[in-house]
Amino acid sequence: MTRSFPHSWGWTSELETAFKEHRPAGLIPGRIIFRGGDRWFAMTAEGECEVIRGSRAGGDAVVGDWVALDRQPERTGISAILPRSSELTRRGTGPRVGRQTLAANVDVILLASALDGGRSLSRRRLERMLALAWESGARPVIVLTKSDLAKTHEDALSIVAQAAPGTDALVTSAQTGEGIENLRAIVAAAPTAALIGLSGCGKSSLVNALLGYNKQTTGDVREDDLRGRHVTTSRELVALPEGGLIMDTPGLREFAGGDSESIDAVFSEMAELASSCRFNDCTHRHEPGCAIQAALASGELDQDRYAHWLELREELDNDDPRKRLQRKKREKEISKAVRRYYNAHHEK
């Protein structure tokens, strides 16, 4: 398939408008397709080339970025990064702080979880992956991999229905070809998709199946716990023969991300109930008139899902010291108000 650059690589009218200011300087558009360590590679109208950091902004370029390149005989430098339409990021965990940008300008995020009986598929992990995806601005699609190793899909599909009601899900196998054509159609229409998931969940095998040949290295899965090695160590954006672009990413051990809007998108029933609480600043723990607590008491709301929703909200608040202090202050005020409320009731 002949590919015209830049349009077949996701170029839009918005990008064309943003790039106009760079044309008088003789810069050319490029899209970052590979980054490993301190090395970048970009796709341009003249083909793939290695690029170097041409400015301070260029050091922040990630795979998927559209950049303005200064093409010289000796080297090609990144002079500017064009505005991003989406940004897949995650929060630092443990000793790490801040945000890490994983990919840019992705339209569909494929959340890969294996059906091989390992630790890849869990409701809580899917909820975290969904929050990460919704925050990015891309559309999430759940991709259940390694269906050839599963006796049945019913339990897995039940987990997906609980964690991601309304989200598209696809059962696939790189070995038998199940679901590959449907996945290929999703990527072709995207036109840029990114695969994320735990190491060993079959991401690279899916990329190979979509390409029709073995481009990505795949690793064995340990027999004791069915977990794989981190084979993919860099991010790479590759073009599929039938159209569309797919990005393979290193396996993630943790999924820490999401903002308040994306968490509400994942837990839409919680957001809907919260709008009916008596107090606008309800913490949904013990206040009188809390619609969420009423739903928990009646059995309408799942206790585990509620607990995970609270956990994600607290992690988000803890990211901002000011919000953390405000939350603690507010919880103390609410505790005093609740005690006064019940004391007044008991006195009557």
Domains and CATH numbers, the chain: 7-81 (2.40.50.140), 87-248 (3.40.50.300), 267-347 (1.10.40.50)
Contact at 8 Å (CB) between 281 and 275? no
Kindly give, in sequence order, each residue whose CB lies less than 8 Å from that of residue 153, ignoring residues fewer than 6 positions away.
115, 144, 147, 171
d(C-alpha 263, C-alpha 128), whole Å: 9
pLDDT, residue 314, reads: 86
Which alpha helices (H) appear in the chain, and where do they start and end?
A: 13-19, 123-136, 154-163, 180-189, 203-211, 260-266, 268-274, 291-298, 303-318, 321-347
pLDDT, residue 46, reads: 92
pLDDT tens string for the chain (348 positions)?
446 899 999 999 999 999 999 999 999 999 999 988 778 899 999 999 999 875 555 568 999 999 999 998 889 999 999 999 999 988 765 545 567 888 999 999 999 999 976 566 788 889 998 999 999 999 999 999 999 988 888 888 888 998 998 899 999 999 999 999 999 999 999 999 999 988 888 899 999 999 998 875 554 443 344 344 444 457 899 999 989 999 988 766 566 667 888 998 999 999 899 999 988 889 898 888 999 999 999 999 999 999 999 998 888 877 655 555 555 555 566 565 556 656 666 655
Contact at 8 Å (CB) between 183 and 206? yes
pLDDT, residue 252, reads: 65
Alpha carbon 115 to chain centroid, angstroms? 20
pLDDT, residue 239, reads: 95
pLDDT, residue 344, reads: 65
pLDDT, residue 340, reads: 63
Hey, which bits of 72-128 come out as E strands?
76-81, 87-91, 99-104, 108-114
pLDDT, residue 52, reads: 87
pLDDT, residue 224, reads: 42
Contact at 8 Å (CB) between 34 and 40? yes
